[in-house]
Structure 1
Amino acid sequence: MNREIRILMHTHWDREWYFTKDETKVLLRNHMQEVMEFLEENPETIYILDGQSVMIDDYLELEPEAESRMRSLIEKGNLRVGPWYTQTDLLLVHGESIFRNLYYGIKRAEEFGEPMLVGYAPDTFGHASQMPQIYKQFGIDSTFFWRGFSELKAEKSDFLWKGVDGSEVVGVNLATGYQGAKYLELEPDELEKRMNKIMPVLDNYSASNARLIMNGHDQMPIQKNIYQVMENMKRIYPKDQVMLSDFESYVAALDKDKLEVVTGELIDSKHARIHRTIGSTRMDIKLLNTDIENNLYNVLEPLAVIGEQAGIPYPHGVVEKVSKILFGTHAHDSIGGCNSDKVNQDIKQRLLNAKEMVDTQIELHLRLMCLGNQESSETIVLVNPLPEKRVNQMVDLEILTRTKGFRIFDENKQALDYSVVSQEKEDAGLIDRQVAARLQDIKVYRTTIVLPIGEIEGLTARYLTFEEVDEEQKEAAVPTKKRISNDYGELFVESNVLCYKDKKTQDVYTNILSIENSGDAGDSYDYSPPYNDWILNSEECGDMTVNVVEEKHYKEMTIDWQLTVPENQAQREEKKAERDVNFNVTLKLYPGDPKVYVTMHHENRTEHNRYRAVFNTGIQAEEVKVDGYMSTQMKPVYNEEPLSIWEKDGWVEKPVSVETAQSFVSLKNTDAAFTVYTKGLKEYEVLDEAIHLTLFRTFSHLGQRELINRPGRPSGIEIETPDNQLINEPFTFEFAFEVAHSHEEESHVAKDYLTPLVGYQLKEFNRFNINPRNTVEKTDTHLSLDLNGLVVSSTRLTDKNERFIRLFNPHAEEITVSLSETAYTATAMEERLEAIKTLTLAPQEIGNIIITH
């Protein structure tokens, strides 16, 4: 065979890991100076800048005068940038974050030249099954990656990867890794020895006569003697062609009609570790990230669309800034949490900064919208962030008043009923510094209420008013029995376990929700059970103190759940449980809603522990339904085939049956269903009839060797990371569960759960003073689409201030919706295509539309 030995020069650039992003910025300046000098001296050379456009920004931040020089090399095709903004994780972040990462990455690359439209994800810990469609929407027809492939997927490392909707891209597994030909030897004998290790692997796995030699590594400087190396390589392989190449040329050499077809996620761990349990590492960081993503995509962006109708300029700059902060924390190591303590501290601080920006912009928008209501200064604004009509909703609303009592009125001056959740008295001078500066002593009441809303149009605002009254709020009713119920079911505690009675079937779910404590001998990459584990459940090691409140619009059960568990690994090995830990758990039921809403507060006190919420579903099933990126899929409960062969075939990591979902996990059989909806808890395992949802885990090292599920060398490096024990870290976990009553698709219920109505009161006292704007007016516009089962992923304004909506079809059948307003199909780059009156999406298909004002 006359082979084409295609050498691809590149660098893999982890912006942070056990080193900080600021260290790599300084290194990048030196790296780029060498690369550009080499490319200018050797204009036939192609160099891949790791598929991420952020490297442009990081370099020019320190050397802005080099912009024209860099631009010239990108325009000529010597330097290839994009399509990503950063090398993101492809399982743990929000689906919108994947779209936006590509959007901003391609957009930035286009400012310098032609972007590299290749789905290059060399080191990512697994690949979601929706990625082929996402890639195709950006005009990307191929993906190159290292981790996640095995012969269970295909015999050859070149294949066609078919996504959940049927979209296909060329998949290329880098069989010798992205670092396989790093630092190629110049001396002929040593080079031949090296190539004798590389070429047999590529000969075995390549589907054509092309062989891709990846000449690069983590922060590796450009190999300046590459042309001399190539001359020696030509002497070793005189019958073969030796050339510098790029990804596109390699794909062009493949006969796509002869490639095998691969489906599903790429998460096999035969040749490279995939770290299937990294989804529960540093849950403080992951939960903070999810909170920002939800507030950005589900609240701020649609709120700002409504605000633009009211005369408030859309905050494009804030959205882009927050997005890029997020993407900087979404790299596989960064969001994975597998970093040094110093780096994780920096990541967390950047996320806190992003949260402040998002939360402040949301409050500012709501405040300006209230000021737009010239009819009354006692205004409450309610916003529906979804472009569809909502009915029978409950709004959590915070009211600040000088009096204990107040009344709320709708647009027709009719009094609205509500229920009080809590009320606290505080000093107004601690809120508004002007009060303190004037030496005023003003006390105010901060009251949280639940306000029922019968209906509200899509993507709209309703304006209510309030009136302070000098009367006491009535105390909530405290029943004598420790149980709460609504039309769907009853929650109660019996024999020290939480139980639920389904009123429709009369079935009783005993120990429906419990807390599991086990050991963790793993590291930042992987949970690993200790060799002598001792697994405890709150049923046996817990004590419950129960209080109940019944109000008209909600019923609440609070459990002070005290567990006695091992404090550390030594106690666990000795089977000693001497540390009391508390989970303060609130469960709420609402009228007309079958879900049980759960909030857990916990402050960690233990080391080398893992905590999971366990749901006793009563359902035996071989498959579990979950959501991925804008899609639903069925996953096996137990990974039978890979688990049966992994040791015999020498997989580098055990393919444990711990999986990742985005926002729901559902077990079903012919008679029943049980679904858990989550806010940021994405790692689950199904054992027998129980769904185990990981809350958090604690451990001591970035990497460790010889774990039970991961034999051999440590992943990363073997350094201590005491912060990962999360001692004194306060956690808030939020999720809901439902014994099946709803006939809605779970994706729609999850979107509704994650996108509640937003309410805001125009307050007398504020941290910051702002002037009313003459351009801001009360808005009565709305956009209520009949989505017919389609689910909204995002609603925002494009750079041209056009309303852009991304939808997806989670169902197994095609769905068509009518669009009453002028609408266009759109690209993922948010550009208009053709005018449409209806939109039809196939099963699991994603659709982008622009609807004009």
Structure 2
Amino acid sequence: MNTQRRVIHVISHTHWDREWYMPYEAHHVKLVQTMDALLDTFATDPEFKSFYLDGQSIVLEDYLQIYPERRELLQQYVKEGKLSAGPWYVLQDEFLTSSEANVRNMQIGHRDAKGFGPVSKVGYFPDSFGNMGQAAQLLRQAGIDNAVFGRGVKATGFNNSVGDGASLESPFSELVWEAPDGSQVLGVLFANWYNNGMEIPVDPTEAKAYWDHRIASASRYASTPHLLLMNGCDHQPVQTNLSEALRVARELYPEHEFIHSNFDDYMKAVQVSLPPKLSLTRGELRGQKTDGLFTLANTASARVSIKQLNQQNQTLLEKVAEPLATIANGQGKAYPHALFVYAWKTLMQNHPHDSICGCSVDEVYREMEIRFAKSMEVAKAIVIESAKAVGDGVDTSAFEAIGTGAAPFVVFNTSGYEGSSVVTVDVELSRRYFKQSENPVAVAEEVRSRTHGAGYLVNERGVRVACSSEDLGVRFGYDLPDDKFRQPYYCRTVRLTFETDALPGIGYATYAWVPDAGSEASAETGSLLTGDSTLENELLKLTVASDGGMTLLDKRSGQSFAGLGHYENTGDVGNEYIFVQPKGDVPITTHGRAADIRVVENTSYRATLEIVQTLDIPVSADERLAEEMNTMTFIYDRNAGRATETVPLRIVTRVSLERGGKGVRVNSTYDNKSTDHRLRVLYPTDVNATTHFADSIFEVAERETKPSAEWRNPCNAQHMSNFIDVHEAKRGLTIAGKGLNEYEVLLDGRNTIAVTVLRSVGELGDWGVFPTPEAQCLGVNTVEWMIIPHAGRDRVDAYREAHRFPVPVTVSQTGIHAGTLPLSYSFLQWQGDGVLFSSLKTNEERGDWMARWYNVTGQAGEVRLSSPQGGGSYVSNIMEDAGGIAVDGRLPVGKYEIVTVGLR
């Protein structure tokens, strides 16, 4: 510790969880009261210098929802430096929100903050349950050179107490945090948590004891004479007598300087007084060099249904609506910026760590479901209008010669990766609009009598495409024109299912249904079923054993994977934060138990096997758990076990292989009638490797499979965004999920991937007694994932397939008409080894297209791209700034670099 005179920087703040142990509106009321007290303190105490609003601009938004007339007053205080604004919109969980959601959070946080004054340039992560490895690169691209965080580096234990040990990555609160690409920021750890300066006494005797302890604790970890004391905590009211408390401190300790400070002044003071060399910490901060008991990684599996909705919502916005609206903008349709901001904000209100992590009271999740629904309805409306605008510009006149009444439709692939897809689309035929004065019964009968559901499907070349068709009969529909009243109609509807040709990554292909009373759609030109329980295409062969276990042969590499897909059930006497298996609990598995296996789909484009298995599992934990929960027994001291009474857990698994499929799709439905347990699906890889790779925020993070020597947690579950991969030089297995965010690679000699599909718990946990019966996730649940084998060297191709898996294609029916667009087209063609595509959207200020990629390897690469924009392109950043160097079609991408390109 530096022996210079100490400067104690007291920063007033409140860490504001919008919802947690109370519903949102209950917290909202407390926020209004806190802000009222703060504004009154500013007005009455000139020595009360500043207050930090937790790094999130939504705090201002929530307050102005009640007092909109106080905007100018807030703007005044932000401009004077008394209040902070941004840099985030919300304090998100970094691992459970997508890469682009993290970027939109920064973009919208800055956008809103600028409406009040200067944007706070503090990389604030006070309570994230682990920190993403690319944080330093993202912060640097946003013009932020520091990060303040509370978890992931030092040995942090229960209630954030700090331990000692040789394993500590940094002896100081201050360190250099480096992203995989080499970007660095000054990191400041809340070594004594973000409440180490809360409730400072005014009484001299109490103050002396308080400051002796707090100064010593802060000095213990500080590398400079500047000590950080955070005057606040979770939902902490303003300390209105702080000025008096600091006057007392100055009298007691004249040898020190006490400042009512702010982060800007504190950071400047620290940066000029740092020692010559600080510890360097690289990549993710996940607390892996701790005992592992409180990394809170099991929040990745709390309330899986919420994670599924989040995945659907994020994917719909960033992978479907934004790119479709962008290419529609290129066809002259205005880009709906304001609607996107609203949809993203509504979604991100579900992204604070205590919300999306599933560790709040039940009322929170009822409201979150509504927010997801609201955001997705907006996104769907944008998708429909954007797809129609593009489809109406396609020249479909060639279909006129194929057959009378041909009904064209455009199939969009906005994933960024080329590939085929099995599509189900409802095609409407012979619309008959009617007026209010007409008899709808007669209109429906008229359509029924003059139409039929027979016909065939053709692609853009007029070649027939095998498909399944179902005549849905006559159905009601309506249009909402821009220039007249709503227009109801009846039409004949035919539902088609077929496999597309390889669709371009950001583009489309056009098909047409041709009504023909003398023809039938064909789906039986071949079969992927090569045995009673074997599915096979050109790339893969899957065989299901009598107990439901699967063997998968990758024909490209010659590698075979055996014993895949068994389920494992264990008890869980933990809480929403932490999984705890009861002492002596033996897992119950489907291995060796007879399964009912049957064929449920057999067409030329897809075959599906259904596997039905039943496990008899305990109905709940035993009676001890309720008492231990009510008395707040430390979770690792709990002696609760599982009840002796059992109930059936029926699992219906459908495995599907598509003709052009590079992986096996899995759909699993189970009826959960039990509480206090966990269900995982197991995939032995038999890969000889000591590390594995997890999809994360703008990286595929390499992680040690065996935890550190300090690790004591029997469970080593971790986060993944979309997939987990284990590979060696010639063999690899990737499991990609939809809203499945928790995995563990088991130390069982087979490097088995265990993916959590259900975790049932009955309490929030943390600091009080908060029952959460709805977190038991009772009832019918459905989860989806994909099995993608590869040869190790082609792992990035597997990652692209894993990213394409959750992105739905979009179908828009159109008419036969002339147009400026061909029947198939790619709006953004790109190539690049080791590079993954992230997003395509339109910049609000300039109207430029903004496209983003990132390198997931340690080797420099490039993106080779072409676009019909024709106005040139330039290098930008996550904030979409203009003025970067021009791109001539070949964009260098450094190792692990995130690159954003503006297309004029």
Is the shorter-chain TM-score for this pair beyond 0.5, marking a shared fold? yes
Q: What corresponds to 2:847 in structure 1?
A: 801
SS at match of 2:34: helix
**Deviation, structure 1 residue 230:** 0.8
- Deviation, 1:446, is 2.8
Q: Secondary structure at the match of 2:891?
A: strand
**What is the CA–CA distance in structure 1 between the aligned matches of 2:655 and 2:57, rounded to whole Å?**
45
How far apart, CA to CA, are the structure 1 residues paired with 2:563 and 2:865? 47
Find out whether 1:468 has 2:515 as its counterpart: yes
Give the AA of the match of 1:379: P
Aligned 8 A contact 2:198 2:233 in 1: yes
Q: Is the 8 A contact 1:632 1:844 kept in 2?
A: no
Q: Which residue of 2 aligns with 1:237?
A: 253
Distance 2:643 2:730 in 1: 41
| Alignment-mate amino acid for residue 208 of structure 1 | T
Other-structure match for 1:20: 23
User: Which of the numbers 349, 362, 382 marks the counterpart of 2:370?
Assistant: 349
CA distance in structure 1 between the aligned counterparts of 2:346 and 2:800, rounded to whole angstroms:
29
CA deviation profile, 1:479-513 (whole Å, cap 9, x unmatched) = 76221112233222223232324246666533211
CA distance 1:238–1:270, shift in 2 (3 Å): farther
Is 2:898 aligned against 1:850? no
**Corresponding residue for residue 467 of structure 2:** 419
Aligned residue in 1 for 2:626: none
Match of 1:691 among 740, 747, 753: 753
Could you tell me whether the CA contact under 8 Å between 2:466 and 2:521 is conserved in 1? no
**Structure 2 matches for 1:597-676, cutoff 5 A?**
597-643=665-711, 654=713, 656-676=715-735
Q: Is residue 810 of structure 1 aligned with residue 856 of structure 2?
A: yes
Q: In 2, distance between residues paired with 1:53 and 1:851?
A: 30
Shift of 1:25: 2.5
User: How much has 1:782 moved relative to structure 2?
Assistant: 2.2
Q: Which amino acid in structure 1 is aligned with residue 745 of structure 2? A: V
1:174 aligns with 2:161: no
SS, match of residue 193 in structure 1: helix
Q: How do 1:222-371 and structure 2 match up within 5 A?
A: 222-252=238-268, 253-254=270-271, 255=274, 257-268=276-287, 273-371=294-392
- TM-score w.r.t. length of structure 2: 0.85
Deviations 1:342-361 (A, max 9, x none): 11211122112222222233
Identify which range, 578-587 or 824-833, moves more after superposition: 578-587
State the match for 1:649 in structure 2.
Answer: none
1:79 corresponds to which residue?
83
Matched, 1:6 2:42: no
Which of 555, 559, 568 is equivalent to 2:620?
A: 568
The farther-off stretch of 602-611 and 94-103 is 602-611
Aligned to 2:544: 493
Report the AA paired with residue 498 of structure 2: V
- CA deviation after TM superposition for structure 1 residue 532, in Å: 3.8
Q: Which residue of 1 aligns with 2:41?
A: 38
**Cα offsets for 1:553-596 (capped at 9, x unmatched):** 22322223333322222499567574222222222223354311
Query: In structure 2, which of residues 874, 879, 887 is the aligned counterpart of residue 824 of structure 1?
Result: 874
1:4 maps to a residue whose letter is V
Deviates more, 1:16-25 or 1:685-694: 16-25
8 A Cα contact 1:15 1:21, kept in partner:
yes
CA drift of 1:442 comes to: 7.1
The equivalent residue for 1:113 is: 117
Aligned pair in 2 of structure 1 residues 432, 731: CA closer, same or farther (>3 Å)?
A: farther
Q: In structure 1, what is the Cα distance between the partners aligned to 2:819 and 2:659?
A: 41
Q: Distance in 2 between matches of 1:681 and 1:631?
A: 18
State the one-letter code of the partner of 1:452.
T
Contact 2:122–2:144 (8 Å) recurs in 1: yes
Match in the other structure for 2:883 = 833
Q: 2:495 aligns with which of 418, 437, 446?
A: 446
Unmatched runs of 5 consecutive residues or more in structure 2: 155-166, 398-405, 429-450, 624-639
2:759 aligned partner, one-letter code: R
Establish whether residue 784 from structure 1 lines up as the match of residue 829 from structure 2: yes
Report if the CA contact (8 A) 2:616-2:647 is conserved: yes
Give the Cα–Cα distance (whole angstroms) in 2 for the partners of residues 174 and 294 of structure 1. Answer: 34
Residues 432 and 496 of structure 1, relative CA distance in 2, 3 Å threshold: farther
Determine if contact 1:160/1:256 at 8 Å carries over to the other structure.
Answer: no
**TM-aligned CA deviation for residue 233 of structure 1:** 0.9
Q: Is the contact between residue 588 and residue 596 of structure 1 (CA under 8 Å) also seen in structure 2?
A: yes
Q: Which stretch has the larger CA shift, 438-447 or 67-76?
A: 438-447
Cα distance, 1:60 vs structure 2: 1.1
**5+ residue gaps, structure 1:** 647-653, 704-714, 765-771
> Shift in Å at residue 20 of structure 1?
2.0
Contact 1:484–1:548 (8 Å) recurs in 2: no
Post-superposition offset of 1:132: 0.9
Quote the offset at 1:43 in angstroms. Answer: 4.6
Following the alignment from structure 2 to structure 1, what is the Cα–Cα distance between the partners of residues 895 and 44? Answer: 52
8 Å CA contact retained: 1:673, 1:739:
yes
Aligned to 1:231, the other structure's residue is in SS state helix
Deviations 1:24-51 (A, max 9, x none): 3233223222212322444550211111
Q: 1:580 — aligned with what?
A: 648
Q: Confirm or deny: 8 A CA contact 1:489 1:500 kept in the other structure.
A: no
Which shows bigger deviation, 239-248 or 670-679?
670-679
Amino acid at match of 1:221: P
Deviation of 1:611 (Å): 0.8
Aligned: 1:553 with 2:605: yes
Please list, as runs of the form range in 1=range in 2, the aligned pairs for 1:119-268 lying within 5 A after superposition. Answer: 119-150=123-154, 152-252=168-268, 253-254=270-271, 255=274, 257-268=276-287
2:586 alignment partner in structure 1: 534
How far does residue 757 in structure 1 lie from its aligned partner after superposition?
4.2
Q: Distance in 1 between matches of 2:773 and 2:495?
A: 39
Task: Please give the alpha-carbon distance, in whole angstroms, between the structure 1 residues aligned to 2:667 and 2:93.
Answer: 27
Structure-to-structure mapping, 1:724-803, within 5 angstroms? 724-740=775-791, 743-745=794-796, 746-755=798-807, 757-762=809-814, 782-799=827-844, 800-803=846-849
Q: Quote the residue 1:721 is aligned against.
A: 772
User: What letter is aligned with 1:801?
Assistant: G
Q: CA deviation at 1:548?
A: 5.3
- Which amino acid in structure 2 is aligned with residue 47 of structure 1? F
Deviation at 1:382, TM superposition (A): 2.0
Distance 1:88 1:272, change over 3 A: farther
Deviation track 1:358-385 (CA, whole Å, cap 9, x = no partner) reads 2233233323433445756822112232
SS in 1 for 2:89: coil
Instruction: Answer yes or no: is the 8 Å Cα contact 2:849–2:902 preserved in 1.
Output: yes
Distance in 1, matches of 2:535 and 2:173, equals 56
Look up the match of 1:707.
none
Alpha-carbon separation, structure 2, partners of 1:111 and 1:439: 44
Call closer, same or farther: CA 1:828–1:479 in 2, change over 3 Å: closer
- For residues 392-411 of structure 1, give each alpha carbon's deviation from its aligned partner in whole angstroms, at most 9, with x where no partner exists: 52341313356443323333
Query: Deviation per CA, 1:770-819, whole angstroms, max 9, x where unpaired?
Result: xx999999996722123344221110001032100111111221012345
Match of 1:521 in 2: 573
* Structure 2: distance between partners of 1:795 and 1:544: 45
What is the match of residue 382 of structure 1?
A: 411
TM-score normalised over the length of structure 1: 0.89
One-letter code of the match for 1:517? N
**CA distance 1:424–1:565, change in 2 (3 Å):** farther
1:542 Cα shift? 5.6
Structure-2 change in CA distance of 1:612 and 1:431 (3 Å): farther
Report SS of the residue matched to 2:710.
helix
User: 1:736-766 CA deviation, whole Å, 9 max, x = no partner?
Assistant: 33253872514333333344543333599xx
Q: Which moved more, 1:737-746 or 1:721-730?
A: 737-746
* 1:680 alignment counterpart: 739
How far is 1:98 from its partner?
0.7
Rounded to whole Å, the distance in 1 between the matches of 2:294 and 2:280 is: 23
Taking only the aligned residue pairs, the percentage that are identical comes to 24
* 2:298–2:742 CA contact under 8 A, matched in 1: yes
Shift of 1:640: 2.7
Partner residue in 2 for 1:712 = none
Deviations 1:587-618 (A, max 9, x none): 22233543112122233222112111110212
- Report the AA paired with residue 286 of structure 2: I
Alignment root-mean-square deviation, CA: 3.1
* DSSP-derived class of the 1:213 partner: strand
Q: Name the SS of the counterpart of 1:257 in structure 2.
A: coil
